């Protein structure tokens, strides 16, 4: 039945409850503080507000509006609509091996990244979940690999600018650094630490942002998580994460780092992520 609905949704241009593989009445959890609105758009009035980690009931309604997909939800006897990219389905049993859905809760994120504070987790969770959805990083295997690499590169999302000056990248033509000062100007930024003029240019072109002339924007969370997903997908890393084994994860490490620097830390985060997410 789910396969039939998935095919139906790909062919249909009309949003409806049939286009959700989540059963009506299922439990959802908010991944960040969230306003429940009277209709499927941010212009609609607020019915109630919930904090991160709140459990809501899915009413079966799925609608599009204001650039988001909206789920009908019920909480504390009140019904309304909430943007789906800030909700994750609660696993109420079964193996849960695939942990499908391009989102993660604040609690799960902090268990994977133990040095991430609650305030930063809540600040970043919306940007992260939007990026996961955009990049089809939507299974346990993909999320655990992606988050492990981000965790190592950014110190559990605690730094979005490389500590080193970037002088070591000066003259690195393989990174597109062809002008004096490019090493410092295009040093690592964002949760995956994109580096080099060529990467800033390509990421900016893909995202519609002039990062080549405004490289510091890559350190902004809203842009940084998008550059991380761009880099991940530009190296076709989902296919290796899908292997969900050490050899596949090692390929993601090599394609991000160029080698195996920090392998033990990356591996530890990956193992922890699989345990937390259930794969």
Known catalytic residue at 153: yes
Burial 42-72 (b: 16+ CB within 10 A, else e): eebeebeebebebebebbbbbbebeebbbbb
How far apart are alpha carbons 279 and 152 in whole angstroms? Answer: 20
Neighbours of 239 (CB within 10 A): 12
Question: Are 253 and 263 a contacting pair, CB within 8 Å?
Answer: yes
State pLDDT tens for residues 183-224: 999 999 999 999 999 999 999 999 999 999 999 999 999 899
Task: Tell which wins on pLDDT, 5 or 262.
Answer: 262
**Was domain 97-279 assigned CATH 1.10.530.10?**
yes
Strand (E) or helix (H) holding 7: helix 2-11
Question: Are 101 and 134 a contacting pair, CB within 8 Å?
Answer: no
Catalytic: which of 153, 162, 170, 212?
Answer: 153
Q: Which residues contact 268 (CB under 8 A, 6 or more apart)?
A: none
The pLDDT of residue 240 is above 70:
yes
Task: Tell which wins on pLDDT, 153 or 14.
Answer: 153
State pLDDT tens for residues 174-184: 999 999 999 99
How far apart are alpha carbons 230 and 241 in whole angstroms? Answer: 15
pLDDT at residue 53, as a whole number = 74
| Tokens describing residue 111 | 């268990």
Taking only Cα atoms into account, the Rg of the chain, rounded to an integer number of angstroms, comes to: 20
Distance of CA 232 to the CA centre of its chain: 11
Lowest mean pLDDT among 82-91, 102-111, 218-227, 234-243: 82-91
Same fold? 2-89, 97-279? no
Domain locations along the chain? 2-89, 97-279
The pLDDT of residue 29 is above 90:
no
Question: Are 240 and 251 a contacting pair, CB within 8 Å?
Answer: yes
Burial status of residue 246 (CB atoms within 10 A of its CB: 0-12, 13-18, 19 or more): exposed
Q: What CATH superfamily classification does 2-89 receive? A: SH3 Domains (2.30.30.40)
Question: pLDDT-derived band of residue 60, with 50, 70 and 90 as boundaries?
Answer: confident
Q: Which residues contact 198 (CB under 8 A, 6 or more apart)?
A: 175, 176
How far apart are alpha carbons 276 and 279 in whole angstroms? Answer: 8
The pLDDT of residue 31 is above 80:
no
Please give the average per-residue pLDDT across 133-158, as a whole number: 94
Question: pLDDT-derived band of residue 70, with 50, 70 and 90 as boundaries?
Answer: confident
The pLDDT of residue 17 is above 50:
no
How far apart are alpha carbons 74 and 217 in whole angstroms? Answer: 38
pTM beyond 0.75: no
How far apart are alpha carbons 44 and 42 in whole angstroms? Answer: 5
The whole-chain average pLDDT of the chain stands at 85
Question: Are 28 and 61 a contacting pair, CB within 8 Å?
Answer: no
């Amino acid at each position: 039945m789910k396969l039939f609905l998935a095919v139906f949704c790909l062919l249909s241009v009309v949003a409806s409850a049939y286009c959700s593989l989540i059963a009506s009445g299922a439990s959802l959890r908010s991944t960040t503080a969230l306003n429940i609105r009277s209709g499927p758009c941010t212009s609609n009035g607020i019915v109630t507000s919930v904090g991160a980690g709140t459990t809501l009931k899915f009413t079966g309604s799925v609608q599009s509006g204001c650039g988001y997909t909206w789920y009908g939800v019920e909480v504390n006897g009140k019904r309304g609509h909430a943007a789906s990219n800030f909700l994750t389905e609660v696993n109420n049993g079964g193996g849960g091996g695939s942990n499908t859905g391009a989102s993660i809760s604040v609690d799960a994120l902090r268990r994977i990244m133990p040095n991430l504070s609650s305030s930063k987790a809540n600040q970043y969770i919306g940007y992260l979940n939007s990026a996961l959805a955009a990049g089809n990083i939507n299974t346990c295997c993909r999320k655990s690999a992606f988050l492990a690499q981000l965790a190592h590169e950014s110190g559990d999302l605690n730094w979005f600018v490389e500590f080193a000056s970037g002088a070591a990248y000066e003259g690195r033509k393989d990174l597109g650094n062809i002008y004096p000062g490019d090493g410092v100007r295009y040093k690592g930024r964002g949760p995956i630490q994109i580096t080099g003029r060529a990467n800033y240019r390509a990421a900016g072109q893909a995202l519609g942002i002039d990062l080549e002339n405004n490289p510091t924007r890559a350190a902004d969370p809203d842009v940084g998580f998008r550059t991380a997903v761009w880099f991940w997908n530009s190296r076709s890393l989902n296919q290796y994460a899908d292997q969900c084994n050490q050899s596949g994860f090692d390929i993601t490490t090599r394609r991000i780092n160029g080698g195996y620097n920090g392998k033990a830390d990356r591996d530890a985060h990956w193992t922890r992520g699989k345990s937390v997410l259930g794969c």
